[in-house]
Structure 1
């Protein structure tokens, strides 16, 4: 099927409608004008005939032996002055006493439309064909002094002359109609161009496809998206945005104020400059918002905002961080065992078999002890994975990482996931490793138990400790006591945040010989019973 462009549709439709209306109006006015001209001509013919019929000279001439000698000159003067085609005066028998053609005088009147005037004395307008052609006629009877009908006056205008006058008027109307048609064509062309410009040259089916694609894209993305016009009214919002903002139902054409933090939107609307990754708090949620202006030429026609809850972004970052941590810790463990294999290989090559046996027995006994605790007393695989990684890292860094033999944990509840556990234990243990790094005999101890209503983790180190001034800000975002080009200050902040999300707490005991971090995680999920 051939698709006709919008430009051609509008042009064709407006031209057709304009042409139809102009033709109908022209026909109507031509018809009405023709009827009006015929009516006026008939009325004029009747008035002239009445005037002639009451003239004393005309009435007196009927008493003469040859009435036409007096009547013909009188009525001819009147005919010329009034523009009538003919003025005929006849007697009761219809014999003419006057006529524009002198050779017709004395002959009988034709047309057969004089009887009503002669016999009944009526005044009327008729249309009939006479000696000069078809004409509109005014008929008036002539009465003598006794009131008797002695003759008739017939005044006529040719229908051909009336039609010529109508055609003359029609010509003017046609000229006006042609101008109107040209104007309508020009207007239709300009209108179609304007609409095409407003639609950016797109056809209706293309606009419909774009609308469908826009809806599909809008509701498929995992970010919340909303757009407003230059008056701050919401023009679109996807389902994800409604979920993040706690909105139900349609909010189209509603004011954005009260539904979304609008200050950033209005700022972009005012300046026309985009803003990216701004952190905002809305209804106890921290969201990351990016705003982009919708430009209409040089003017800002609206703003599009995309946003996500900060915790979602942090979870992605944490997941990537976990993968990186696991990778680094596995590399550390591999590197440590590779070094030990090289040492063992050297001892065997030098024939130091007893030293080699002692080294193997030492490693074996140490691994057996640690593995017995990790695999037999720590029964949750998530904690096992974290501890095995940290054992390898401690070995590489020459740190004694001791898992308390009294430690015991059964499988953790489902609401405590690996991501949160890695943030908590991973950051606290790493922080302990860094604290003892410069110590003469670095040592970090780990203890875990699930007795009672809480799961308890303890991490202690013999490092440099924490100053009393730093202790209140220990879990603040960005706080760090480390020096260097890239100080971080996010580890303990993220650990504390993950503990709070699980409804737990972290306690810090800053002693003279060691620093102890204790984590309490409730077995029941926050806000409900364990499932």
Structure 2
């Protein structure tokens, strides 16, 4: 059995298709032929019943028939009418009977004998009904239409006899066989054309598959799919009409596509005009860069040619966001390192001052200096260490305190601040990006002020963690407020404007938000909200990303 299956699998695709199509054609032609024969047979039966019934009723209403039944006159006229009607309707026989006996029998003897043995006109005589009845079974079956003959006696009508019109089933079968010849001829022609068409189809498929067998095609497809999906860069293949023919997981992730898009137009899938424009303009070989949902993507196009005719394009998509995020991370780590360096430098300067005072014998001045510095540092440290219980935020604030001291900025952590250890979902790096950028921006904002003051407040009462950074700088003009979170927007020079953008991006990942209040000449307050429990929608968004 296994050997037979192997031999079958080795049969060429052309023969398989030919055999399958021929089998289907035979099945379809057979079903259609049987269906036509069945309906033709039913139509023949229905037609015979209708003719028998109507003919019987027509004869029962004729005056000549009623007169013959009543008086026995005009027998020859009635027989002539019956004979002509029999020829016109091609019925097997017509019998006109009184209540007691048959008056006219225009039917073969074999029919009248069977009819005599099965008197079916009783219902017509008793109830005056017209009906069609079947006598016998199989090919010998008779269809008889029976109608009562009413005689008018002036004051009333009375049934005095019946008209019976008979069809033999053999006559119906003969008509059916004549029709079947046409049906079989049409079926044979359809089968011949179907076989020819299937042969041409199989040959065409053979050419389209370059002579490859299904097993070889399947192997190539598996290898291609595995290779296509394993590439970390995004890949999209389109035909000459920009219908998507292939797309890998990386491209879907980069372009935030979550549905089946194969076969759809590029314009339909890329709803954003700017994104579609970036792809559409790369009709020939080329490279472009664009922004999409906070990601920087680089697209390179490579046209596909078949006999010097362009049949499609392959787009290669590179996500520069990872590289940029790495750069941002390194920048923030560097900033953190600078804060620690500033703290070290500040303490080193104070140690040099203290050493100088001691060498000059200024013991009292040295003690006073130590006391004042210790009081200031201890006061700030006490607030941070006693009220802020999260070690990550403590480290950030202590570093920023040292940097503030070096830049001569009065950085004050509010004594009303409270903060328990943060959930594990809030890591150090997002906090460093959020708080580090906001505090550094506040330091920059007060550089031109005589009294440089920056304050920090935090609380975790309720479902959210709240951070607030306030400065007494020049403030932000009202027309600039809507743009401060736009990537690259800054008045501080080139390669700036990424801090607040990165803050907003990190808050979106955490499911939080940020608000800004500013009065020109009075200062600015940034308020950050981070949920203690990450919302389900944000979790799903993070998983999808």
TM-score by length of 1: 0.51
> Which residue pairs with 1:25 in the alignment?
none
Range with greater deviation from structure 2 (457-466 or 498-507):
498-507
> Which residue pairs with 2:498 in the alignment?
490
1:446 Cα deviation from its structure 2 partner: 1.0
Q: Does 1:277 align with 2:289?
A: yes
CA 1:235–1:404 in 2, change beyond 3 Å: closer, same or farther?
same
Q: Are 2:289 and 2:296, in contact at CA under 8 Å, matched by a contact in 1? A: no
Any unmatched runs of 5+ in structure 1? Answer: 1-197, 199-207
CA 1:254–1:469 in 2, change beyond 3 Å: closer, same or farther?
closer
Q: Are 1:289 and 1:305, in contact at CA under 8 Å, matched by a contact in 2? A: no
Range with greater deviation from structure 2 (463-472 or 209-218):
209-218
1:254-306 Cα deviation digits (max 9, x unpaired): 6544334554334222xx2412322246xxx8662412324769876643334
The counterpart of 1:505, out of the listed 509, 514, 536, is 514
Range with greater deviation from structure 2 (365-374 or 433-442):
365-374
CA 1:437–1:353 in 2, change beyond 3 Å: closer, same or farther?
same
Equivalenced residues, count = 318
Range with greater deviation from structure 2 (232-241 or 332-341):
232-241
> Which residue pairs with 1:268 in the alignment?
282
Any unmatched runs of 5+ in structure 2? Answer: 1-209, 211-217, 541-545
Alpha-carbon RMSD across the aligned residues, in angstroms, is 3.8
Distance 2:461 2:490 in 1: 34
CA 1:449–1:302 in 2, change beyond 3 Å: closer, same or farther?
same
> Which residue pairs with 2:531 in the alignment?
522
> Which residue pairs with 1:466 in the alignment?
476
Distance 2:368 2:477 in 1: 43
Larger Rg: 1
Q: Does 1:359 align with 2:375?
A: no
1:316-327 alignment, distance < 5 Å? 316-327=326-337
Q: Are 1:280 and 1:289, in contact at CA under 8 Å, matched by a contact in 2? A: no
CA 1:234–1:398 in 2, change beyond 3 Å: closer, same or farther?
same
> Which residue pairs with 1:169 in the alignment?
none
Distance 2:484 2:455 in 1: 21
Distance 1:463 1:496 in 2: 22
Q: Are 1:318 and 1:419, in contact at CA under 8 Å, matched by a contact in 2? A: no
Range with greater deviation from structure 2 (323-332 or 253-262):
253-262
Higher helix share: 2
The counterpart of 1:291, out of the listed 293, 297, 300, is 300
1:397 Cα deviation from its structure 2 partner: 0.7
1:225-304 alignment, distance < 5 Å? 225-244=235-254, 245-247=256-258, 255-260=265-270, 262-269=276-283, 272-280=284-292, 288-294=297-303, 302-304=312-314
1:403 Cα deviation from its structure 2 partner: 1.0
TM-score by length of 2: 0.50
1:233-272 Cα deviation digits (max 9, x unpaired): 54543222344443466x6666544334554334222xx2
1:125-524 alignment, distance < 5 Å? 218-244=228-254, 245-247=256-258, 255-260=265-270, 262-269=276-283, 272-280=284-292, 288-294=297-303, 302-307=312-317, 315-482=325-492, 485-486=493-494, 488-501=496-509, 502-510=511-519, 513-524=522-533
Q: Are 1:380 and 1:410, in contact at CA under 8 Å, matched by a contact in 2? A: yes
